[in-house]
Amino acid sequence: MRTITTTEDLAEYCTQAAKFPYVTVDTEFLRERTYYAKLCLVQLAMPGDDDSNAVLVDPLAKGLSLAPLYDLFRDENVVKVFHAARQDLEIFFVEEGVIPSPLFDTQVAAMVCGFGDQVGYETLVRKIAREAVDKSSRFTDWSRRPLSDAQKTYALADVTHLRVVYEYLAKELEKSKRTKWVTEELGVLTEPSTYIVEPANAWKRVKTRTNSGKFMAAVVTLAAFRETYAQSRNVPRNRVFKDDALVELASTKPKDMNDLNRSRLLLREARRGDIAEGILTAIARAENVPADQIPRPEKGRDKQMVPAALADLLRVLLKAKSEEYAVAQKLICNASDLDGLASGERDLPLLKGWRGEVFGDAAIQLCEGKIALVANGKTVSTVKL
């Protein structure tokens, strides 16, 4: 098991990898005690039947630069293959501002190919590569050196088996002419804004039960302070103060340290120093937010206004189309958008792109009474009216 610890060796490997049509990639990282993930290991594998062209790259090695890897990520002639790439891509974007392109995510592809919702890597390896993956090292401390043989074996398996999975899924997509479906789905992953958390928008993560103006103004300013503080100190936002404490503070609006110390949910560390001062400043700032600048969370759909019978018919149609096209239901549409469609909404993702072809067009016809559902033994199909 080869481990790369120098920039020169990494450059040599990436030069070789650039001669192939694809390279598989995975990472190991820690994030429990930091805001940004700490990259501890990068795994790479070129096409082939053995492990000789798979390597571990140690980003913690003194003097090693990942610049050659980032150059490979920018090479448009080499497909970068990940499984469930979201967190891996965030690391590379934060570190270097680079998003690997072209990109292939086997989890997304597997959902398009009928392997179910958010299928795990172990499941795909078992079903496609006919191999078992030992995940016992998954939650070990990847920042400690030296790495154990068990850790290395586990890490390499995440890119060696991925080659078989990728080649199988790519062929299936080509046969079914669904490659463009995956490309559509990867649009979010390849969009830089996916990985940028603006403090001004941090309030959207906080669940609240009331939308009153003064309360929401405080939620916005408190969430913005917490995000800014967490980013600047590189600590998890919940280590600053948790959501329940934020909601409590937005409700009670403490004006001084005495008020702050009456909080039931605020951690001891947040009752003094920079955090305490930041909280009081955020509350004071909320008092001066103009009413027309206070954001309003999107209102959930009133379940009583959703035509239940039509919503149920749409769910049957969704399941039927999911089975017909062998595509995961959740990839086609979520329950909320289905209720929205039944309620008359039409600006929905399920009506666009490949989703419209697979399900949306038929769903509109069902809503308009142009088709009906019929049972044919164990399957359900549609008939024109």
Average pLDDT, integer, range 27-51 = 95
What would the pLDDT profile of 222-266 be if each residue is shown by its tens digit?
A: 999 999 999 999 999 999 999 999 999 999 999 999 999 999 999
Mean pLDDT throughout 153-175?
Answer: 97
What per-residue confidence (pLDDT) applies to 291? 86
pLDDT of 298 higher than 70? no
pLDDT of residue 137: 85
Residue 302 in this model has a pLDDT that exceeds 70: no
- Asked whether 142 and 40 are in contact (CB, 8 A), the reply is yes
Beta strands in the chain (DSSP E): 2-4, 22-30, 38-45, 54-57, 79-82, 103-105, 371-376, 379-384
Q: How far apart are CA 155 and CA 338, in angstroms?
A: 40
Mean pLDDT (whole number) for 337-359:
94
Residue 375 and residue 191: Cα distance in Å, rounded? 42
How far is residue 342's CA from residue 50's CA, in Å, rounded to a whole number?
A: 52
pLDDT of residue 185: 92
User: CATH 3.30.420.10 occupies which residues in the chain?
Assistant: 2-194
Are the C-beta atoms of residues 217 and 200 closer than 8 Å to each other? no
Task: Please compute the mean of the pLDDT values over residues 6-31 and round it to a whole number.
Answer: 98
The first and second tokens of residue 313, run together, are 């018919």
pLDDT digit string (tens) for 114-135? 998 889 999 999 999 999 988 8
72/301: higher pLDDT: 72
Report CA dihedral (196, 18, 84, 357) to the nearest 10 degrees: 90
Residue 299 has pLDDT above 70, yes or no: no
* Best CA proximity match to 239, nearest among 278, 266, 215: 266
Residue 318 and residue 373: Cα distance in Å, rounded?
Answer: 11
* pLDDT score for 175: 96
Tokens of 241: 């103060």
- How confident is the model over 49-58, as a mean pLDDT? 92
**Residue spans in the chain of domains classed CATH 1.10.150.80:** 199-293
What fold, for 2-194? Nucleotidyltransferase; domain 5 (3.30.420)
- Strand, coil or helix: 32: coil
| Among the listed residues 49, 50, 54, the one whose alpha carbon sits nearest the alpha carbon of residue 17 | 54
Categorize the per-residue pLDDT at 284 as very low, low, confident or very high, splitting at 50, 70 and 90.
Answer: very high
pLDDT (mean) for 10-27: 98
Percent of the chain with pLDDT over 70: 98
Rounded to an integer, what distance in angstroms lies between the CA atom of residue 90 and that of residue 70?
14
The predicted pLDDT at position 301 comes to: 53
Instruction: Please state the rounded mean pLDDT for residues 168-182.
Output: 96
Provide the sign of the torsion angle of the four alpha carbons 148, 149, 154, 155, taken in this order.
positive
What average pLDDT is seen over the chain?
94
pLDDT at 247 (0 to 100): 97
What pLDDT is recorded for position 303?
59
**CATH classification of 303-384, choosing from 1.10.150, 3.40.1350, 3.30.70, 1.10.20?**
1.10.150
pLDDT at residue 230, rounded to an integer:
98
Query: DSSP states of 129-183 as a string?
Result: I------TTTTS-TTSSSPPHHHHHHHHHHHHHHHHHHHHHHHHHHHHT-HHHHH
Residue the block writes with tokens 């499984």: 83
Cα dihedral 69/72/74/75 (nearest 10): 180
Whether omega before 192 lies within 30 degrees of 0, making that bond cis, reads no
Is pLDDT at 211 greater than 90 in this prediction?
no
Candidates 317, 369, 365; CA nearest to 338 is 317
Query: What's 199-293's CATH class?
Result: mainly alpha
Tokens of 220: 């916005």
